Structure 1
Amino acid sequence: MSDESATEKPKRVDGQMTGLAGELFVAAELLKRNLQVSLTFGNAKAIDLFAHNPATERMFTVQVKASRKKNYFPISHGKVNAAHVYVFVLLNKPGEAVQYFIVPGKVLAEEPERFTKWFVDPKFPGIHPNVLKDFAENWKLFDEKAC
């Protein structure tokens, strides 16, 4: 083994692949629950998925935040749209179950303190999965009728 290979850093995972994996996992879960789903592709998009529940005639705009391991999801309180549904996806290692945390945008917008001071941090805002446990597997949100 050469000195050069001993000091090589592990290859960083492509963030776009992580994001796309998260979106596809969420789309699959929604399809499994009989919602019609449309993916939007491209960088700098405002919406990741459109979902329609034919049973309730309700349409959803979905933002997906994905991470491969238990770390902060980068999201800024100032950029939250109260009308969206936010799905935080913890992909985990291959062979381990994916974890989902489904949060109404309205809750993120109106209750920032619920998600700790880091959610409103001006330099590196984010939400840790530990504070999302109340929203784990909250798929029933997509079955609610419009208010």
Structure 2
Amino acid sequence: MVDSIIPKPKRVDGQITGLAGELFVAAELLKRGIQTSITFGNAKAIDLLAYNPDTGRSFTVQVKAIRKKNVFPIAHNKINRAHTYVFVVLNKPGEAVQYFIVPGTTLEEDPDRFTHWFTDPKFPGFNWRVLQDLGHEDAWHVFSEQA
């Protein structure tokens, strides 16, 4: 009878997903000439530090990663307007990673734009498609704009 038991799929480690997202974002920023440093460690307030030498602007970057197209769990009351948020859909191996870049000011000042779930007290967040529909996909220009 033991042979007939089907094992449950292995649960993905959230820390691995988060680290993968941070590394992908760091690589994309470096590819675009943005000096980038990863802040390793648990319970950290900032995932990446970035500096654009062309504009002289520095950025504190918060990365939120999910493995497949789903909901980004993030609460509106946890947003820091000084951060730049990069939402990452890792997708399956062999599929392109998707990036959605949103300034913290945009997330903080207009939460309804990201659906009422963003301010939901029980399970706050929003679907990746909201970011796509609002034009935030591959918005890397955020890191090149003047202050």
Q: TM-score range by the shorter chain?
A: over 0.9
Distance 2:78 2:44 in 1: 13
Q: Give the aligned CA root-mean-square deviation in angstroms.
A: 0.9
Match of 2:86 in 1: 87
The count of aligned residue pairs is 144
SS in 2 for 1:135: coil
Distance 2:61 2:131 in 1: 17
Matched to 2:92, the amino acid is: K
TM-score by length of 1: 0.96
SS in 1 for 2:29: helix
Matched to 1:33, the amino acid is: R
Distance 2:42 2:139 in 1: 27
Distance 1:68 1:13 in 2: 9
Distance 1:114 1:138 in 2: 17
Structure 2 residues not aligned, in runs of 5+:
none
Distance 2:43 2:36 in 1: 20
Within a 5 Å distance, the mapping from 1:1-147 to structure 2 comes to: 2-4=3-5, 6=6, 8-133=7-132, 134-146=135-147
CA distances 1:98-140 after superposition (whole Å, capped 9, x unpaired): 0000001000000000010110010111121010011000000
SS in 2 for 1:2: helix
Of all paired residues, the percent bearing the same amino acid is 69
Matched to 2:141, the amino acid is: K
TM-score by length of 2: 0.96
CA distances 1:37-68 after superposition (whole Å, capped 9, x unpaired): 01001111110000000000000000000000
